[in-house]
Structure 1
């Protein structure tokens, strides 16, 4: 599956005065994108049993909670986790003496952590909802569908034709119609779509975290929470509905 990228994307760099332009050179942008794709590989390679154990543990510790309430716990956990990493990256990038490249490197590493946390959240939510997470390619597809949102869903609909537009059928449920080779092909296309969205989606996060000390930490938290809330929204749309009990 082709997944490594090379493009001319640009993004923010650390400003020294108000006239500076936030910019990442193409090589740096490609390196960050490929690091994120490596992080995705690592996240979806996790055995489904580990994810199941985590969700089942939440159920055991909260025996009276409904699936919706367990989902709320997952949502809160994601928001708290990514908010902490966003603030840390924003602060470290603005430390006096830390150059632009070092600042971007810190934020790139934090972005990989964000992606791994997001992948864990998506797969935990999918298992809670009864979606199949046994196969690695299926796990990859679920994560990519949530990350790419409506564009990923439209791609699935295009590949399955009219069967993909049945009212009430989610993209996650539609994946059951894909065989191994077809699912792998879908993932290749979803990965390319995700790679194209990376720089655009993270541009504001990078800019905010490279702001002066204090402002960077606050805006880093805000940017990560905004991205996480979008992931939570997409998960509700792309994954199967929560069971009532």
Structure 2
């Protein structure tokens, strides 16, 4: 699917990645500040909790507002469209932050796209990357940065993009309809849908990068 609507979804993804990339290290610093003695694994778990909580809260808030008495369908759809970009930003920040904690520095937009789409697509994203890259084994997140040639990466992103549009373009409409529901029900549907997406993304990130490193390597920092 490469029509206008589908391309807009991918454009929003690139916008979200562009907005959140400069904030990755700030996000990790904020997570570490809560517990200066935290290990990389503990920080990743904290990032996971913050991500699930933030995405769930966003969905519930928009769902509740969209379902409130007096809010028309057009307004509800507009609210959900705005939340979609917010959800993409949260997901991009989470995926790239986890990569950074693992010491996987991604300074190439094409590779950032692969990481974010692969994690947001869950198991299907992992399968697609392995198939197109003709690589097997665990922790594809590291392979994408270190071993996959640029030409192959573009092929991967082309396939991932089609799946991404299907999941977050077409099927997003189902979630939007769910939010245009009697007051109170919309919040439950919105929050529940986003929570499910967040949990799948967390599981995908663990598959992508594997166990957390024992020492900090961000910006030259090494644990003592």
TM-score range normalised by the length of the shorter chain: 0.7 to 0.9
Structure 1 unaligned spans of 5+? 7-29
Matched, 1:44 2:13: no
CA contact (8 A) 1:51 1:120 kept: yes
Name the residue aligned to 1:185.
155
Flag the structure with higher helix content: 2
Matched-pair contact (CA < 8 Å) for 2:140–2:209: yes
TM-score by length of 2: 0.84
C-alpha contact 1:39 1:112 (8 A) present in aligned 2:
yes
Aligned residues: 214
Q: For 1:7-62, what per-residue CA distance to the aligned partner results, in whole angstroms no more than 9, with x for missing partners?
A: xxxxxxxxxxxxxxxxxxxxxxx3xx554423211122247453123313433542
Partner of 2:218: none
1:82 aligned onto 2:55: yes
2:136 aligned residue (128, 149, 165): 165
Equivalent position of 1:154 in the other structure: 127
How far residue 69 of structure 1 moved from its aligned partner, in angstroms, is 1.2
Does the 8 A contact of 1:205 with 1:224 survive in 2? Answer: no
CA distances 1:120-142 after superposition (whole Å, capped 9, x unpaired): 11100111112232221111110
Alignment partner, residue 174 of structure 1: 143
- 1:1-245 to structure 2, matched below 5 A, reads 4-5=2-3, 30=5, 34-46=7-19, 48-161=21-134, 164-166=135-137, 169-175=138-144, 176-199=146-169, 202=172, 205-245=175-215
Gaps of 5+ in 2: 216-224
Cα pair 2:119 2:201 within 8 Å, conserved: yes
Q: Provide the rounded CA distance (Å) in 1 between the counterparts of 2:190 and 2:20.
A: 31
Deviations 1:59-118 (A, max 9, x none): 354221111211121112112212221122112211233222221121121122111111
Distance 1:134 1:46, change over 3 A: farther
Please give the alpha-carbon distance, in whole angstroms, between the structure 2 residues aligned to 1:47 and 1:83: 19
Residues 182-191 or 121-130, more deviating: 182-191
Aligned equivalents of 1:126, 1:197: Cα separation in 2? 23
Contact 1:147 1:231 in 2 (8 A): yes
Q: Distance in 2 between matches of 1:82 and 1:90?
A: 12
